[in-house]
Amino acid sequence: MAAGALSQDLGSVGVAARIRARPVVVEIVVLVVLAIVALAGVGLGSVRISPADTVAVILWRAFGIDVGATWAPATEAIIWELRLPRVLTAMVIGGGLAVAGATFQGLLRNPLADPFVLGTSSGAALGAAVAILLPVDVAILAFGLLHALAFGGALMAAFVVFRLGGSGGPGGLTRLLLTGYAIGSVLAALLTLAMYVSGSDLRQIFSFLLGGLAGASWPRLVVAAPLIIASCALIVARSRSLDGLLLGDSAARHLGVDVRRERGILLALASMATAAGVAISGLIGFVGLVVPHLVRLLVGPSARRVIPISAIAGAALLVAADLGARLAGDVPVGVVMALVGAPFFLFLLGRTRSGYEL
Amino acid sequence: MTIEPILAADGVTLAYGARPIVIDASLAIAGGERVAIVGPNGAGKSTFLRALTGVLTPRAGGVRLCGAPIATVDRMVVARTIAVVPELAQLPFAMPVDEVVALGRLPHEPPISGLRPSDEAAVVAAIERVGVGHLRRRDARELSMGERQLVFIAVAVAQAASILVLDEPTAHLDIRHQVEVMELVRDLNERDGTTIVAVLHDLALAAHFFPRIVVMDGGRIVADGPPAATLDEAHIRGVFGVDPALVRLPAGAA
């Protein structure tokens, strides 16, 4: 409940419960954090650029606004050609993975679900490995075979899992999860085989598995962002169905939700957001699993709040983690995120007294 | 019959695979009625209820809601007309009781913006009516079975539909709460005019609180009428297979 009598906290329930009563406050705080880490992400790096110059260059290049500042051409190139597309890509992918994770968790009624639960990660990785091993090299603009096969592999895996396991009925969710696990295992086995025979290409496959944003560029962003943003927007528009499913299939049906149809659509949208993200960045874990839980700790489980706030928080987390990874000398972003994020998450879990459990 | 029944089953037959569960069941419920469905385990009561609420499509026969085949009625309209107390499903995430009850407003509220002030008022009213105000901020997963049962009844009350359907609403409740739920159901019926359809196991409660009893056995409706006619010694012995002396019915019922 966003406001009104229902949200009045009766006190003595702890900080989390009091913040929960004010989702708008959380939204604003998360947006401010996102703005700060985004500015830091553009300004910081091997060459440090002041926030004023950063804002001036972005205003000039993006909107043609001249604020009367001057800067070296190299500064402009670093901001506009390197860091800004990278930061924006991190924002879009981090937000998309967090929304996909929240969607999968809600749909499957399983707190351990993440964007890769339907085998999208294995599908993408196998696609990427095949692309790396094939002796052909086609590229249209900034898109190579790797992006195409990773994207296609992720979607194909999700599609196969849904077709085989998504028939519904009693125990349908368990069936879907187990099908995802089984298909994922087959794909992972094939991936292992591909890595085994890859020889000198192993390093390239490995770097896809680790994930990272070094490959970010404007053309890639321009193609991936609309897919991810549109998927997330359509998920937000269907959050009512996600809320109904919190009570289970039959209750959702009695509340007017066309369970089978909504589940299919939402799984497709979340898979699309995931596939478009991993095709650019490789496999980036953690953000999709943890951010939705973090958000639920703050604002409760209603999808209407969890989905949009997860998008912003996921964006902020991946930008921050990518910045940390660059500053630490280009270590994989997943390493930074897990090393810093997981203890923070554990700390929050320990602080909550609302009976929250994973 | 001159008045169109609000909910009617015409020769409904349901089967799981080749196994028939409900056979040729016909039932007409008028608006404002209070009907209890009783019968031994496996009699097909819950399955019949699922057909009545539009979840299962019958093999043969059909269900009409306000005269229209229920399958042709828009889901949201069905949800605004029939509220079903949800099964006691475990919630996947921590969720305060008032937010759980607010889910009952899904068929009413605007899809994107969510609860309007009128919806919040309905949620508060439902919470008060069912008497779970003291649980409002509790995590619904921490509640006892009985408390959770009451909360889920509040979800259906918040749905504010003209028909309220309950499947074993007293299953997890102690005797005091059983009577309270029955009194609530009677009050919703008499004061608000809500049509009630409830599957009950307790024959004494059914006879005491419901003017019309439908007895099911082996997938068929074997009796339909006031308690005195449907819960007589012959039916209790024949359908439930117990000594009628074990069932203490209210004076005048049998």
Query: Which pLDDT tens digit goes with each residue over A307-358?
Result: 999 999 999 999 999 999 998 888 888 888 888 888 887 887 776 655 443 3
> What proportion of chain A, given as a percentage, has pLDDT over 70?
88
For an interface test with B, which of A174, A255, A349 has the most B Cβ atoms less than 10 Å from its Cβ?
A: A255
> What proportion of chain A, given as a percentage, has pLDDT over 90?
26
- What pLDDT is recorded for position A351? 67
- What pLDDT is recorded for position A291? 92
Task: Please indicate whether residue A9 or residue A257 has the higher confidence score (pLDDT).
Answer: A257
pLDDT at B194 over 90: yes
CA distance B31 to A39: 63
| Cβ contact A6–B103 (<8 Å) | no
Residue of B75, B96, B114 lying closest to A300 (CB–CB):
B96
Segment A292-306 mean pLDDT: 88
For A120, the 3-state DSSP assignment is helix
Segment A257-284 mean pLDDT: 90
CA nearest A332: which of A289, A282, A292? A282
Segment B138-146 mean pLDDT: 86
CB B166 within 8 A of CB B193: no
CB A343 within 8 A of CB A290: no
| Mode of pairing for the β-strands spanning A143-144 and A139-140 | antiparallel
CB B185 within 8 A of CB B192: no
pLDDT at B2 over 60: no
**pLDDT averaged over chain B?**
89
Token pair of B209 as six digits: 């609180």
| Cβ contact A258–B78 (<8 Å) | no
- What pLDDT is recorded for position A168? 63
Residues of chain B positioned with their CB less than 8 A from the CB of A302: 99, 114
- What pLDDT is recorded for position B14? 92
pLDDT at A42 over 90: no
Least confident range from A7-16, A333-342, B182-191, B228-237: namely A7-16
CA nearest A115: which of A290, A280, A236, A246? A290
> What proportion of chain B, given as a percentage, has pLDDT over 90?
57
Task: Please indicate whether residue B160 or residue A340 has the higher confidence score (pLDDT).
Answer: B160
Taking residue B220's Cβ as centre, other Cβ atoms within 10 Å add up to 15
DSSP for chain B, written as a single string: --SPPSEEEEEEEEEETTEEEEEEEEEEE-TT-EEEEE--TTSSHHHHHHHHTTSS--SEEEEEETTEEGGGS-HHHHHHHEEEPPP-PPPSS--BHHHHHHGGGTTTS-TTT---HHHHHHHHHHHHHHT-GGGTTSBGGGS-HHHHHHHHHHHHHHTT-SEEEEESTTTT--HHHHHHHHHHHHHHHHHH--EEEEE-S-HHHHHHH-SEEEEEETTEEEEEE-HHHHSSHHHIIIII-S-GGGS-PPTTT-
pLDDT at A3 over 60: no
Distances in Å between the Cα of A174 and the Cα atoms of A168, A179, A317 are: 10, 8, 31
pLDDT in tens, A122-171: 898 898 888 888 877 666 666 678 888 888 999 999 899 888 887 666 66
Place of tokens 């091997």: A46
pLDDT in tens, B198-209: 999 989 899 999
Residue of A256, A258, A296 lying closest to B93 (CB–CB):
A296
- What pLDDT is recorded for position A142? 60
| Cβ contact A6–B106 (<8 Å) | no
Chain A closest CA to B209's CA: distance in Å?
A: 25
φ, ψ of residue B60 in degrees (nearest 5): -135, 160
- What pLDDT is recorded for position A353? 55
Residues of chain B positioned with their CB less than 8 A from the CB of A6: 98, 102, 120, 123-124, 136
Place of tokens 């359809």: B197
Single-letter code of the amino acid located at A182: A
Task: Please indicate whether residue B74 or residue A77 has the higher confidence score (pLDDT).
Answer: B74
Chain B closest CA to A249's CA: distance in Å?
A: 9
Chain B closest CA to A354's CA: distance in Å?
A: 7
Place of tokens 């309950």: B166
Least confident range from A15-19, B117-121, B203-207: namely A15-19
Q: In what order do the strands lie in the sheet with B82-84?
A: B82-84, B163-167, B195-199, B34-38, B212-217, B220-225
- What pLDDT is recorded for position A174? 84
| Cβ contact B124–A251 (<8 Å) | no
Segment A268-284 mean pLDDT: 90
| Cβ contact A256–B123 (<8 Å) | no
- What pLDDT is recorded for position A50? 81
Residue of A6, A255, A354 lying closest to B120 (CB–CB):
A6
- What pLDDT is recorded for position A141? 60
CB A131 within 8 A of CB A150: yes
pLDDT in tens, A219-239: 889 889 999 999 999 999 999
- What pLDDT is recorded for position A169? 61
Query: How many beta-carbon pairs under 8 angstroms link A with B?
Result: 116
Residues of chain A positioned with their CB less than 8 A from the CB of B102: 1, 6
Residues of chain A positioned with their CB less than 8 A from the CB of B137: 9-10, 13, 17
CB B56 within 8 A of CB B253: no
Residue of A254, A256, A356 lying closest to B86 (CB–CB):
A254
pLDDT at B247 over 80: no
pLDDT at A11 over 60: no
Find all residues with CB under 8 Å of B25, minimum gap 6, and list them: B9, B11, B12, B13, B44, B48, B61, B216, B219, B220, B221
Residue of A111, A254, A257 lying closest to B53 (CB–CB):
A254
Please indicate if any CB of chain B lies within 8 Å of the CB of A138: no
| Cβ contact B99–A302 (<8 Å) | yes
Task: Please indicate whether residue A201 or residue A227 has the higher confidence score (pLDDT).
Answer: A227
The answer to whether ipTM exceeds 0.85 is yes
Residues of chain A positioned with their CB less than 8 A from the CB of B80: 256
Chain A closest CA to B157's CA: distance in Å?
A: 12
Chain B closest CA to A5's CA: distance in Å?
A: 8
- What pLDDT is recorded for position A20? 52
Task: Please indicate whether residue B10 or residue A133 has the higher confidence score (pLDDT).
Answer: B10
Least confident range from A75-79, A141-145, B185-189: namely A141-145
CA nearest A207: which of A325, A324, A37? A325
| Mode of pairing for the β-strands spanning B163-167 and B60-65 | unpaired
Reported confidence tier of residue A2, pLDDT bands at 50, 70, 90: very low
Chain A closest CA to B127's CA: distance in Å?
A: 11
CA distance A279 to A215: 10
Segment B146-167 mean pLDDT: 92
CA distance B215 to B221: 6
CB A292 within 8 A of CB A317: no
Chain A closest CA to B156's CA: distance in Å?
A: 9
Segment A10-26 mean pLDDT: 56
For an interface test with A, which of B115, B137, B139, B144 has the most A Cβ atoms less than 10 Å from its Cβ?
A: B137
CA nearest B132: which of B113, B146, B118, B119? B146
Please indicate if any CB of chain B lies within 8 Å of the CB of A233: no
| Cβ contact B87–A251 (<8 Å) | yes
Least confident range from A136-140, A261-265, A298-302, B197-201: namely A136-140
- What pLDDT is recorded for position A9? 40
- What pLDDT is recorded for position A356? 45
- What pLDDT is recorded for position A66? 79
Chain A closest CA to B103's CA: distance in Å?
A: 7
Among all residues of chain B, which has the CA nearest to that of A10? B137
Segment B144-153 mean pLDDT: 89
Residue of A5, A240, A355 lying closest to B94 (CB–CB):
A355
Residues of B with CB under 8 A from a CB of A: 53, 55, 75-76, 78-80, 82-84, 86-87, 89, 91-96, 98-100, 102-104, 106-107, 109, 111-112, 114-115, 117, 120, 123-124, 136-137, 139, 141-142, 155, 159
Please indicate if any CB of chain B lies within 8 Å of the CB of A355: yes
Segment B119-125 mean pLDDT: 91
Residues of chain B positioned with their CB less than 8 A from the CB of A289: none
Token pair of B124 as six digits: 């508060």
Reported confidence tier of residue A75, pLDDT bands at 50, 70, 90: confident
Residue of B75, B83, B137 lying closest to A10 (CB–CB):
B137
Find all residues with CB under 8 Å of A195, minimum gap 6, and list them: A129, A202, A205, A206
CA nearest A92: which of A273, A236, A217, A237? A273
Token pair of A144 as six digits: 């190579």
Report the first-to-last Cα separation within chain A, whole angstroms.
Answer: 23
**pLDDT averaged over chain A?**
83
